[in-house]
């Protein structure tokens, strides 16, 4: 199950809500991103 975030209002949106129409249900914005859950830090050499 993919979870997206609206770029404007920062609310989480399920992929099921975006299947019919790819707009944010709360603000109507059309730009989304998938937030990263784990950030891997690499030590510089």
pLDDT digits over 10-22, tens only? 899 888 887 888 8
Q: What is the pTM assigned to this prediction?
A: 0.66
Q: What is the CATH number of the domain that holds 35?
A: 2.20.28
Residue ranges making up the domain that contains 12: 1-45
Indicate if the pLDDT at residue 27 is higher than 80: yes
CB atoms within 10 A of CB 24: 21
Domain count, the chain: 1
Give the CA angle between residues 27, 10, 12 to the nearest 5°.
Answer: 90
């Amino acid at each position: 199950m993919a979870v997206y975030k609206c770029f404007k209002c920062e609310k989480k949106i399920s992929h099921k809500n975006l299947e019919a129409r790819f707009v944010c249900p709360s603000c109507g914005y059309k730009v989304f991103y998938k937030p990263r859950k784990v950030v891997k830090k690499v030590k510089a050499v």
